[in-house]
C-alpha cells in the first residue's frame, strides 16, 4: 500500500477519535493495483449529482477525465459551455436555410476531441427549451460515449443494426437532462459494413422524424470508411481539428474524403489561449 495512503488512513482515524471519543476503525484500504473500474450505470434520480461523485480515491484520474469531457453538463455557465452554445447558435442559423436535423461529428485522427465535442454539443442542444435531442455513438471500434456519461448499456447500436434489439431498447435517457443516448454495447466484427448498411440508413431516417436534432459521434475519417458512410446519411458534418496536432495536410485529406457540401464548419480544439485560461479545453 502506498505510504501516502497509509498516512491518510491514520489522519482519518485521528479525526474520528477526536469527534467520537473512540478509536473507530478505518475501512480497509482498496488496492491501487489492477484495471480501473468503469463508471457505474446511470440510474434514475440525480444524474448531475452522480457526476460529482468522490474523486479522491482509486479511479479518480479516470473520473476526472470523464468529467472534462462533459463540461457543458457539469458547468453549464462556464466559458467552454458558452462556446458550445455559440456553435449551436451558428448551426441553428444554418438550419434556417437548409435541413440540419442530423449532424455527424468527426476528426481526421483519433484523440482530437470529436467525442468530447459530440457530448457537449448534444448537451447544449438538449438545454434548448422544448427541443428533443438524441446522441448516437457510431464508433463501433473504440466507443467512448457510454464511458463519458457513466452508462453501462445492455444493448446498443450494433444490436439494433443486427435486428437483435429495437430502437427503444437501445436508447437510454439521462435524468435531469432532456437528452437521449444510443450507446455502443458490443463491438462487432464488421463495423464498416454495418454503418454502411440499409439498416443504418433506416435508423437515421427513423430518429430524424422522432427528434429535433440528432448528433452522431463517428470514428476518425483518415484510414477508415466509417465517417464517410455516416456523413453521407446526415444533413451536415462538423469536423474537429486539434491545434498543434492536426496538420494542414491531414485536414485537407479529411475534407477530400468527406463530402464538402455537408461540412457546416470546423471546431478548433486545444488552442494555446484556451489551454492557458481553461486548463484542458
**Domain annotation for the chain: domains and CATH numbers:** 47-278 (3.40.50.300)
List the beta bridge partners of residue 103: 215, 236
Q: Does the structure show a pLDDT above 70 at 5?
A: no
* Residues comprising the chain, all counted: 281
Task: Specify whether the backbone of 95 is left (phi greater than 0), alpha (psi in -120 to 50) or beta.
Answer: alpha
State the average pLDDT over residues 17-40: 37
For residue 216 the three cell numbers come to: 452522431
Cell 422544448, located at residue: 130
Distance between CA atoms of residues 43 and 162, nearest Å: 26
Q: Which of 121, 98, 124, 106 has the alpha carbon at shortest distance from 235? A: 98
Do 134 and 164 contact (CB within 8 A), yes or no? no
Q: What is the pTM of this model?
A: 0.73
CA 90 to chain centre: 21
Confidence (pLDDT) at 236: 93
Give percent above pLDDT 70 in the chain: 72
Distance between CA atoms of residues 102 and 135, nearest Å: 10
DSSP E strand stretches across 91-197: 102-107, 133-137, 172-173, 179-182
Q: Does the structure show a pLDDT above 60 at 28?
A: no
For the ranges 54-58, 119-123, 175-179, 201-205, the lowest mean pLDDT is seen at 54-58
For the ranges 38-52, 79-93, 146-160, 243-257, the lowest mean pLDDT is seen at 38-52
Do 195 and 104 contact (CB within 8 A), yes or no? no
pLDDT tens for each residue of 201-217? 999 999 999 999 999 99
Q: Does the structure show a pLDDT above 80 at 187?
A: yes
Q: Are strands 172-173 and 179-182 parallel, antiparallel or unpaired?
A: antiparallel
Amino acid at each position: 500500500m502506498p505510504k501516502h495512503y497509509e498516512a491518510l488512513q491514520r489522519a482519518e482515524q485521528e479525526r474520528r477519535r477526536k469527534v467520537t471519543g473512540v478509536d473507530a476503525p478505518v475501512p480497509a484500504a482498496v488496492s491501487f493495483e489492477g484495471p480501473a473500474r468503469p463508471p457505474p450505470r446511470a440510474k434514475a434520480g440525480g444524474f448531475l449529482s452522480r457526476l460529482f461523485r468522490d474523486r479522491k480515491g482509486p479511479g479518480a484520474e479516470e473520473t476526472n477525465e470523464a468529467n472534462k469531457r462533459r463540461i457543458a453538463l457539469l458547468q453549464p455557465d462556464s466559458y467552454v459551455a458558452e462556446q458550445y452554445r455559440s456553435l449551436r447558435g451558428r448551426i441553428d442559423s444554418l438550419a434556417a436555410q437548409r435541413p440540419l436535423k442530423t449532424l455527424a461529428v468527426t476528426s481526421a485522427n483519433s484523440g482530437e476531441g470529436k467525442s468530447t465535442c459530440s457530448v457537449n454539443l448534444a448537451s447544449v442542444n438538449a438545454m434548448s427549451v422544448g427541443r428533443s435531442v438524441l446522441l448516437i455513438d457510431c464508433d463501433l471500434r473504440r466507443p467512448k460515449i457510454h464511458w463519458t456519461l457513466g452508462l453501462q448499456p445492455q444493448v446498443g447500436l450494433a444490436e439494433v443494426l443486427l435486428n437483435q434489439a429495437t430502437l427503444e431498447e437501445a436508447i437510454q435517457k439521462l435524468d435531469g437532462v432532456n437528452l437521449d443516448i444510443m450507446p455502443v454495447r458490443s463491438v462487432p466484427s464488421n463495423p464498416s459494413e454495418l454503418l454502411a448498411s440499409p439498416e443504418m440508413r433506416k435508423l437515421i431516417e427513423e430518429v430524424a422524424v422522432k427528434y429535433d436534432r440528432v448528433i452522431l459521434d463517428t470514428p476518425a475519417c483518415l484510414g477508415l470508411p466509417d465517417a464517410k458512410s455516416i456523413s453521407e446519411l446526415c444533413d451536415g458534418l462538423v469536423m474537429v481539428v486539434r491545434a498543434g496536432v492536426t496538420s494542414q495536410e491531414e485536414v485537407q485529406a479529411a475534407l477530400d474524403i468527406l463530402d464538402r457540401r455537408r461540412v457546416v464548419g470546423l471546431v478548433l480544439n486545444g488552442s494555446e489561449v484556451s489551454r492557458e485560461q481553461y486548463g484542458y479545453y
